[in-house]
Amino acid sequence: MNALKPVAARAATVNAQIVPVGMLDVLSRDEIARLRDATSAGLHTLLRSCALAVLTSGAMHDSARAMLGQYPDFDIEVLQQDRGMKLDLKNAPAQAFVDGKIIVGINELLFAVVRDVVYASTKLQSGEFNLSESSGITHAVFDILRNARVLRARFDPNLVVCWGGHSISRDEYDYTKLVGYQLGLRGMDICTGCGPGAMKGPMKGATIAHAKQRHYENRYIGLTEPSIIAAESPNPIVNSLVILPDIEKRLEAFVRTGHGFIVFPGGVGTCEEILYLLGILMNPANASIPFPLVFTGPASAADYFGQIDKFLRLVLGDAVAQRYRIIVDDPVAVAHAMQDGIVSVRDHRVEQHDAFFFNWEITIDLPFQQPFEATHAAMAALDLHRGRPPHELAADMRRAFSGIVAGNVKEEGMRQIDKHGPYEIHGEPDFMHALDDLLKGFAAAHRMKLPGSKYVPCYTIVSGNGARA
């Protein structure tokens, strides 16, 4: 959101020991040992970066390096005592405390970090997650969500997933709040990637609407993964945080738990999400499954969605447009579309005897589930050419955007770029020219980085004939 400034260098810190509020109370000795282990085999580095993100909740930044640089002396240690566990915080951001006491919501999210880091790593280490098969990956996603207690039985579908950029204009941010408000008035809960911008606005609007309608026990779910949360702190409204092991499991968690989807303006991360979802929806196995999907923004975003629509039709064919609606500058129409769409979802799941809380029926193929490591060789090898089924092409195009996200904000991706220079992306000439135009437009509109941060491209577009775009 352009009206806010990135976090300043260095800030006040405090030392504190905190106890959990209403959740994880005890850990095994083995779990504590792994959380304290600062070697590459341990969990301490992961715990530290995720915990720092939560403690800076609400801060505007999009760089893990910048945040760690601001709090270089921050550390966290898990203590197991006779009366339960504590977290020992050293040089923690003072903004997480009021009059010497940690803010309750931040306390909850901090222990959610411990819960998810321990649970996922334990399951992975033990081999209980079968990640070589599609069904095994889906069950891993289910187990992580169930352990985090975000799957609610005996409740009608009402969860709307909202995607969009962390770096958006004030006009676009205000619009996301208006849409969230209309959703909240109609009893819908919100799930986002948990960060700022379009991930915060719908939650903020919904909180006001829920208060007016006297709705209680409302859900503002944030789904993230370690490298993303390290770069984008959770917004203050998130009341249920889940950290999935990687971006692919995070994306599957959205698809399995959400009942309706809204996409606001964003950058490469938003395009990655769009291509992931449309690739799944264009799989012939999913043709009959109702899945409400709306692209929306203020009047100023009309050209943005026009460009997105043009790109999707070029790469995936005109049939892709049958899976989404574009609604510009009309929050009420968006809410009605979600309301009607979710009724269709409910009726379909009743007919198919499928759960309301987890979409077991939808088919997600292994190429959409396997983690993509954005190396220079992997990026150059992506098959971005015609002659492939649209859902298969979407899987590789999604990986291209995922690699750019990695090069922009993820520590490992940034190290790769520092060492080897920009990624090369090869493909069909008209695909590559359209991709280059799209990315240049994002950069010009400050959708790649927060205002005040200089964007240096981490990619080079190479068309099928070898020419550089």
CATH number of the domain that 73 lies in? 3.30.1850.10
Residue 10 has pLDDT above 90, yes or no: no
Q: Which of 344, 366, 388 marks a domain boundary?
A: 366
Q: Is the dihedral of CA 11, 17, 18, 24 positive or negative?
A: positive
What's residue 2's pLDDT? 42
Distance CA 335, CA 175 (A): 13
Distance CA 80, CA 33 (A): 10
Question: Quick one: 357 and 389 in the same domain?
Answer: no
Mean predicted confidence (pLDDT) in 334-360: 97
Question: Quick one: 45 and 192 in the same domain?
Answer: no
Mean predicted confidence (pLDDT) in 108-131: 90
Token pair belonging to 374 = 């954005």
Residue 89 within a domain: yes
Question: Quick one: 373 and 336 in the same domain?
Answer: no
Residue 134 within a domain: no
User: pLDDT band at residue 371, thresholds of 50, 70 and 90?
Assistant: very high
Q: How much is the pTM? A: 0.91
Taking only the tens place, the pLDDT of each residue in 280-339 is 999 999 999 999 999 999 999 999 999 999 999 999 999 999 999 999 999 999 999 999
Helices (H), 12-96: 29-36, 44-55, 64-70
What's residue 39's pLDDT? 87
Name the domain count of the chain: 3
Distance CA 463, CA 96 (A): 48
Distance CA 126, CA 30 (A): 13
Give the closest residue to 224 by CA, choosing from 169, 150, 129, 334: 150
Residue 214 has pLDDT above 80, yes or no: yes
Residue 387: how many CB atoms within 10 A of its CB?
A: 7
Q: Residue 324: which CATH number?
A: 3.40.50.450
Residue 139 within a domain: no
| Long-range contacts of the stretch 370-378 (C-beta < 8 A, 24+) | 370/137, 370/248, 371/246, 371/247, 371/248, 372/247, 372/248, 372/399, 372/402, 372/403, 374/399, 374/402, 374/403, 374/406, 374/407, 374/413, 374/416, 374/423, 375/416, 376/416, 376/420, 376/423, 376/424, 378/403
Residue 397 within a domain: yes
Question: Quick one: 256 and 300 in the same domain?
Answer: yes
Token pair belonging to 377 = 């060789």
What's residue 6's pLDDT? 44
Taking only the tens place, the pLDDT of each residue in 237-295 is 999 999 999 999 999 999 999 999 999 999 999 999 999 999 999 999 999 999 999 99
What's residue 70's pLDDT? 81
Q: What residues form DSSP beta bridges with 92?
A: 14
Residue 106 has, within 13 A of its CA and on its CB side, a CA count of: 24
Residue with tokens 């282990």: 37
What's residue 458's pLDDT? 85
CB neighbour burial string for 58-83, b if at least 16 within 10 angstroms, e if fewer: bbbbbbbebbbebbeebbbbbeeeee
Q: In this predicted model, which residue has the larger pLDDT, 144 or 227?
A: 144
Q: 20-34, 58-72, 216-230 — which one is most confidently predicted on average? A: 216-230
Give the closest residue to 298 by CA, choosing from 197, 175, 180: 175
Residue 357 within a domain: yes
Residue 444 has, within 13 A of its CA and on its CB side, a CA count of: 7
User: pLDDT band at residue 48, thresholds of 50, 70 and 90?
Assistant: very high
Residue 135 within a domain: no
What's residue 3's pLDDT? 41
Distance CA 375, CA 432 (A): 19
Mean predicted confidence (pLDDT) in 43-69: 80
Residue 146 within a domain: no
Residue 246 has, within 13 A of its CA and on its CB side, a CA count of: 14
Report the percentage of the chain scoring pLDDT > 90.
Answer: 68
Structural domain containing residue 39: 13-128
Question: Quick one: 299 and 401 in the same domain?
Answer: no
Distance CA 31, CA 437 (A): 48
Give the closest residue to 267 by CA, choosing from 11, 393, 143, 446: 446
Q: Which amino acid would we find at residue 122?
A: T
